[in-house]
Amino acid sequence: MAIAIRKSDEIEKLRKANQIVGQTLQYLQNSVEPGMTLKEIDAMGEEFILSKKARPSFKGLYGFPAAVCTSLNEVIIHGIPDDTKVKEGDILGLDIGTELEGWYGDAAITMPVGKVSQKDEELIACAKDALYHAIDIIRPGLRFKELSFELERFIKSRGFVPLLNFCGHGIGKKPHEDPEIPNYLEHGSPKSGPKIKNGMVFCLEPMICQKLGIPKILEDKWSVVSQDGLRGSHYEHTVAVVGNRAEILSQP
């Protein structure tokens, strides 16, 4: 596993790509209303990214057909936009990637559509809070397995479970690079494997299930749900380790 160490000018290029992701997510969060179709939301996101002179990097990536992953209710990640209309009480995951001058950005949110149930509020909060908890504890010398262990511990402390077989990842000149960062301890001891260092840039993305973390991929070959059939949530930021702490690059 070769985990890249980025120079400060490279981190600034990654920041620019990621700021556009953050701005796009903020724009969509403020714009989505009941009655809009997932395709309309995707088109709004793509148009916004292009207006910032960036490219929607998910479009065509591994064959994905859209600019925005729109994951509605039971779909936790990789939802394909279609003619489904969002309605009051839905929860909608939005995952966006950009490419700007050869550098990549990536982030995600799960948002309520209008007023949602307390359970859904807790589900969304678990993903968001787990993400910020992980960002807060990142320090050089911490092992990635320790980070995965802490993510799992936090998620389970809220009464939820992490989605299995999907993970966070490095990012840079490619949308997905080493290391893979599961939201749970996968093999061996937390005190094993590579350590976090200043200059590393990676994406953390807690993916939350209610009862079963076992994934099921739907017939569209993309949408991932839990075998429990219940709603899930997803949050993601791209972070750079700078000055012995994690700095969020994908802020608006």
Any domain includes 169:
yes
pTM assigned to the model: 0.96
More confident residue, 161 or 1: 161
The DSSP bridge pattern shows strands 177-182 and 167-170 to be antiparallel
With residues binned 3-state (H G I as helix, E B as strand, rest as coil), the percentages for the chain, rounded to 5, are 30, 30, 40
Any domain includes 3:
no
Any domain includes 2:
no
**Bridge partners, residue 167, by sequence:** 182
Domains held by the chain: number: 1
Please state which of the ranges 1-5, 138-142, 150-154 shows the lowest mean pLDDT: 1-5
Any domain includes 176:
yes
The answer to whether the beta carbons of residues 38 and 47 sit under 8 Å apart is no
Cα–Cα distance for residue pair 211/182, rounded to 1 Å? 18
Which residue range is the domain that position 180 belongs to? Answer: 8-248
pLDDT tens readout for residues 63-84: 999 999 999 999 999 999 999 9
Any domain includes 100:
yes
H/E run at residue 184: none
**Bridge partners, residue 160, by sequence:** none
Q: What is the mean pLDDT of residues 231-241?
A: 98
Q: What is the CATH number of the domain that holds 169?
A: 3.90.230.10
Any domain includes 72:
yes
Secondary structure letter of residue 163 according to DSSP: P
Decide if pLDDT at 187 tops 90: no
Any domain includes 1:
no
Decide if pLDDT at 55 tops 80: yes
Any domain includes 239:
yes
